[in-house]
């Protein structure tokens, strides 16, 4: 293991943080505390703003049509445009996502722009690197941006090889402040997962570039990712193989051995231009070479019936709570159902109140959360909120046959979202995130069907069962709760 790897692991142990979007930083303690106070206040202010917005929408006539109501709410929430004429394809695992991404990249004639929080030097990462280098040799421009913390333990030889092959590579917010393009803040990370090809097809969701997604969880039926990109390299490290052997011996799933369940979207249509703008804005905010000139915004085409809004978080901007406000407003306006599937669930008080209020007014509120996680402290911090939700009538399920990494919600069967944003303090306040909001009953039905499939593979947590949980879990919840705002 490298010295950097040991230092990072030691720091994580000291601060008890292993969340994929978490960076412990003692020097930023004062700044982080101030951010938490601001975020907490902003959360309640956003909650109040959302409540006022819903009342205004209701005062217009109180449409009983679920879709019409949510369209009205969306129009009132954010300044990002609602885009019509889109076609959405829903993926629920790595193999199907990588196959679609590989096909889109192979068909590229102009450019490939990609952003990923994690880009591993493994089988999947090297296959993708080879494919991008191949496309550059064919005259296609290729640019990749990765987060410096997300790729801290990735050998730089991977990105050097890509650069040598003509792929433009940028690093978001380098840990070394001398390499940063703007005032240094180590907590500000880009957690986005974005791919845009020729301005015609875009991908957003929760899936990084990593071999942890090489197999499919139960119920997805997508097989393996072996045919996604040209074959290159080996898979797991010796450390991973050792953890795999331990998991086989004990029979318990781990983040290394279990298949990962995640959600990604392929978008075709006018909304792709908004995804491309997000990528370009992020690229231009860093010390990166100018993007090779191509037609980034071709004339839009009508590809399908879906209405889409691309919503982003931009830490430091005046409006840095767009995703939070959008989610809160959808929940506050819910009349029938709220179905959430979430990898990291550590809600602030305002968000928790919105969920409990919805359940008390008769809305079917159900959450699918991880039965185990790659972050123990985040896992137990989220569980510390079960009591309040269960008492309010929220149904809680845990999936423990796969590592749940999806970040989705569907409200009233017509308002859906999927993207990179978790339901936690970091995603809502510190990370650069991107979500797609899709309005329509057809896509909502697909999302609800996926939710139902996950429910069938999960175990419900009842209030009576919860009261019987072991003391050691109660202790972990108590301890983790103290640090939830720093996760």
Percent over 90 (pLDDT), the chain: 60
**Tell me, what's the pLDDT at 64?**
54
Distance of CA 111 to the CA centre of its chain: 24
189, with CB counted inside 10 A (0-12, 13-18, 19+), is buried
Specify the pLDDT at position 9: 34
Q: Give me the residue label for tokens 């097989």.
A: 223
- Average pLDDT, rounded, for the chain: 83
> What pLDDT score does 352 carry?
93
The three-state secondary structure class of 373 is: coil
Quote the pLDDT of residue 363: 98
Asked whether 12 and 21 are in contact (CB, 8 A), the reply is no
Q: How far does the chain reach from its first CA to its final CA, in angstroms?
A: 25
pTM score: 0.84
Tens digit of pLDDT for each residue in 270-305? 999 999 999 999 999 998 999 999 999 999 999 999
* Tokens 């909304």, located at residue: 271
Q: How far apart are CA 389 and CA 466, in angstroms?
A: 12
pLDDT means per 10 residues, the chain with 487 residues, are 36 36 32 38 56 58 69 76 93 96 98 98 96 98 96 95 98 85 78 98 97 80 53 40 60 77 97 97 93 96 94 74 87 95 91 95 97 86 94 97 95 96 84 94 96 97 96 90 65
Q: What's the CA angle centered on 266, arms 265 and 271, to 5 degrees?
A: 100
**What is the structure's pLDDT at 164?**
98
pLDDT tens track for 168-198: 999 999 988 777 777 767 778 999 999 999 9
Residue 33: predicted pLDDT:
35
Residue 129's pLDDT is 98
Give the separation between CA 216 and CA 313, rounded to whole angstroms. Answer: 30
383 CB-side CA count, 13 A: 27
459 CB-near residues (< 8 Å, 6+ apart): 371, 397, 398, 399, 400
The rounded distance, in Å, linking the Cα atoms of 252 and 5 is 26
- Check residue 15 and give its pLDDT: 37
Query: What's the pLDDT tens digit per position in 350-392?
Result: 899 999 999 999 999 999 999 988 888 888 999 999 999 999 9
């Amino acid at each position: 293991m490298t010295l950097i790897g040991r230092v990072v692991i030691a720091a994580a142990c000291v601060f008890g943080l292993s969340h994929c979007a978490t960076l412990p930083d003692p020097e930023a303690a004062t700044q982080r505390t101030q951010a938490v106070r601001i975020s907490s206040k902003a959360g309640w202010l956003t909650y109040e703003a959302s409540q006022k917005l819903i009342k205004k929408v209701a005062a217009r006539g109180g449409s009983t049509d679920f879709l019409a109501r949510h369209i009205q709410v969306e129009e009132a929430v954010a300044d990002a445009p609602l885009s019509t004429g889109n076609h959405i394809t829903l993926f629920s695992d790595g193999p199907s996502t990588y196959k679609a991404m590989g096909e889109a990249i192979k068909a590229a004639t102009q450019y490939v722009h990609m952003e990923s929080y994690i880009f591993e030097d493994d089988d999947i990462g090297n296959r993708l690197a080879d494919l991008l280098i191949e496309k550059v040799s064919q005259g296609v421009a290729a640019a990749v941006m990765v987060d410096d913390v997300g790729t801290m333990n990735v050998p730089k030889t991977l990105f050097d090889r890509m650069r040598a092959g003509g792929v433009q590579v940028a690093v978001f917010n380098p840990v070394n402040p001398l390499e940063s393009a703007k005032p240094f803040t180590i907590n500000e990370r880009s957690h986005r997962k974005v791919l845009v090809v020729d301005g015609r097809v875009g991908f957003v969701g929760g899936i990084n570039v990593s071999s942890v997604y090489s197999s499919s969880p139960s119920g997805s039926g997508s097989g393996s990712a072996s045919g996604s990109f040209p074959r290159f390299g080996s898979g797991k490290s010796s450390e991973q193989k050792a953890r795999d052997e331990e998991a086989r011996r004990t029979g318990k799933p781990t983040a290394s051995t279990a298949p990962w369940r995640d959600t990604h979207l392929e978008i075709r249509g006018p909304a792709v231009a908004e995804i491309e703008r997000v990528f370009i804005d992020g690229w231009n905010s860093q010390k990166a070479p100018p993007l090779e000139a191509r037609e980034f915004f071709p004339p839009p085409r009508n590809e399908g019936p879906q209405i889409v809004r691309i919503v982003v978080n931009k830490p430091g901007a005046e409006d840095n709570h767009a995703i939070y406000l959008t989610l809160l407003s959808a929940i506050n306006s819910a009349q029938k159902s709220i179905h959430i599937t979430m990898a990291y669930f550590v809600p602030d008080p305002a968000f928790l109140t919105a969920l409990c209020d919805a359940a008390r007014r008769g809305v079917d509120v159900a959450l699918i959360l991880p039965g185990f996680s790659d972050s123990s402290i985040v896992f137990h911090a989220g569980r510390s909120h079960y009591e309040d939700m269960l008492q309010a009538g929220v149904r809680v399920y845990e999936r423990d046959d796969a590592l749940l990494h999806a970040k989705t919600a569907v409200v009233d069967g017509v308002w859906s979202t999927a993207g990179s944003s978790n339901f936690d303090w970091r995603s809502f306040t510190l990370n650069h995130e991107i979500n797609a909001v899709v309005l329509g009953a057809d896509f909502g039905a697909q999302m609800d069907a996926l939710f139902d499939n996950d429910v069938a593979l999960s175990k419900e947590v009842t209030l009576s069962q919860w009261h019987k949980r072991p003391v050691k879990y109660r202790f972990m919840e108590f301890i983790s709760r103290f640090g939830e705002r720093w996760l």
